[in-house]
Amino acid sequence: MALLLGIVAGQILNLTRSFMLVPWILFIIPVVNGIGGNIGTVIGARLSSALHMGTMTPRLQGKPLEQNILTGVVLGITTYLSLALFSVVLAPMLGLEMNVDSVRFALVIALSGFLLTFVVIAISMLAAINSFKYGLDPDNFVAPLTTSSGDIVGILCLILALKVVGI
Amino acid sequence: MGGYNRRLRRDYFVVVDEIHSGMISRTVFVQSFPFLFATGIGLMIAGLLFGGLVGSLERAPGLIVMIPPLIALRGNIGSALASRLGTATHLGLVSAREIWNEKSKSEISAAIILSLILSLLIGILAYLTCAILGLAHMEIWKFVFVSSTTGLIDGVVLSLMTLFIIFLADKRGADPDNIASPALATIGDLTTLLILFAIVLGTGVIV
């Protein structure tokens, strides 16, 4: 099932042909999707443990949930921001051919990352809570679900960010 | 300023203190951020290789469709394997002294077989979806060739790497579950991209 989601992600990439226009898009994809997946699984794992231990109820409210969500958001924003800034330094050093200026480049990374953070945390939260509610072990569901759907959403966020920044 | 929160860790029966600044867990942040950042840098470097693929991708229509699923496949199988080997280590079925035994062999062969079968499936699905959607695509055998060779090589290399990391962790007396998963996630991503890069480049030459 996660395979199917992966194929969908690949087809979206294929369809939009954006990788032709923007050669460095392939450079950004692993980073954005990878970090998104990490944040989703970290928060998901924490929610999963909290549910198992009973410090959290499987409902969309409560202090532990809010704390985790906020922590995840802050983590995501700071990580993507620092990576975006760092990439501006890194890319030219490694001889990446760029057809846009550095500001736009960093902005694309940052924007798509921020957007993805919110979505990924929402997905992992829903996956953890709902699987627990139906008596399943969230540990088995959160990781594959959030990473696969996060991949798709990541590419969508990337495309959106490119449009917003004007590429 | 901040709140002081105590959480009970079920498995080690140790009280872990988490420091909160307002609503945000500073402990989590401080522990996760450096690693996350380092992972990002690693991924960017790997992504650089990726950028060099554009030429091959243009010559092999439809190839790009298989890239996300192959990465995801590695991620899922890899983490499942890592967690199973970790559990096996906890149960004493596998250890630094007895690292290459019946149990580990069966786990690894299962992972490799799964990688092969599923990557074959990825190749077929990629071809079908391209054909159905009416998009440009290469012949089916090219899809299947790239995906299954990537899947196979990837499966073998990563399974052995996982075993090695589990071995190292156990030798140092560390809990493989804590060390193996994050380390493998990053290294696995990098390796998969490398293998994919090599194969696509090779395919670009063949195609």
pLDDT in tens, A16-42: 555 556 667 777 888 888 888 888 888
Q: Chain B: nearest CA to A9, how far in angstroms?
A: 6
What's residue B142's pLDDT? 76
What's residue A21's pLDDT? 60
Q: Chain B: nearest CA to A14, how far in angstroms?
A: 6
Question: Using the beta-carbon criterion (under 8 Å), do A83 and B40 form an inter-chain contact?
Answer: yes
Whether residue A51 is contained in a domain is answered as: yes
**Could you give the number of structural domains in chain A?**
1
Alpha helices in B134-175 (DSSP H): 140-171
How confident is the prediction for chain B on average, in pLDDT? 75
Question: Using the beta-carbon criterion (under 8 Å), do B65 and A70 form an inter-chain contact?
Answer: no
Which residue, among B146, B148, B150, B74, has the nearest Cα to B111 in the 3D structure?
B74
The verdict on domain B52-206 having CATH code 1.10.260.40 is: no
What's residue A163's pLDDT? 82
Question: Using the beta-carbon criterion (under 8 Å), do A3 and B66 form an inter-chain contact?
Answer: no
How confident is the prediction for chain A on average, in pLDDT? 80
Cβ neighbours of A60 (radius 10 Å): 9
What's residue A120's pLDDT? 92
What's residue A49's pLDDT? 82
Q: Provide, as residue numbers in chain A, all residues whose Cβ is less than 8 Å from the Cβ of B47.
A: 26-31
Whether residue A4 is contained in a domain is answered as: no
pLDDT, tens digit, for every residue of B108-154? 888 899 889 888 888 888 888 777 777 767 777 777 888 888 888 88
Nearest CA in chain A to B71: A6
What's residue A119's pLDDT? 92
What's residue A23's pLDDT? 64
**Residues within 8 A of A (CB atoms), B 142-171 only:** none
B15: confidence class by pLDDT, cuts 50, 70, 90: very low
Query: Which residues lie closer than 8 Å to A112 by C-beta, 6 or more apart?
Result: A28, A32, A154, A157, A158, A160, A161
Instruction: Compute CA distances A38 → A130, B38, B95, B119, whole Å.
Output: 20, 12, 28, 23
Angle formed by the axes of helices B67-90 and A25-53, nearest 10°: 40
SS3 at position A99: coil
Question: Using the beta-carbon criterion (under 8 Å), do B40 and A42 form an inter-chain contact?
Answer: no
- Look up the CATH number of the domain holding residue A68: 1.10.357.20
B189 touches chain A (CB under 8 A): yes
Instruction: Compute CA distances A15 → A9, A76, A102, A144, B127, whole Å.
Output: 10, 28, 26, 24, 14
Question: Using the beta-carbon criterion (under 8 Å), do A75 and B36 form an inter-chain contact?
Answer: yes
Q: Provide, as residue numbers in chain A, all residues whose Cβ is less than 8 Å from the Cβ of B62.
A: 14
Spell out a b/e string for B134-151, using b for 16 or more CB atoms within 10 Å of the CB, else e: eeebbeeebbbbbbbbbb
What's residue A158's pLDDT? 85
- Give the residue-averaged pLDDT of B162-178: 77
A81 lies in which domain range? Answer: 25-165
Whether residue A12 is contained in a domain is answered as: no
- Give the residue with greater pLDDT, A90 vs A85: A85
Q: Provide, as residue numbers in chain A, all residues whose Cβ is less than 8 Å from the Cβ of B32.
A: 42, 75
B183 touches chain A (CB under 8 A): no
Res B2 pLDDT > 60: no
What's residue A2's pLDDT? 63
Res B73 pLDDT > 80: yes
Q: Which of A68-77, B1-10, B50-59, B105-114 is least confident?
A: B1-10
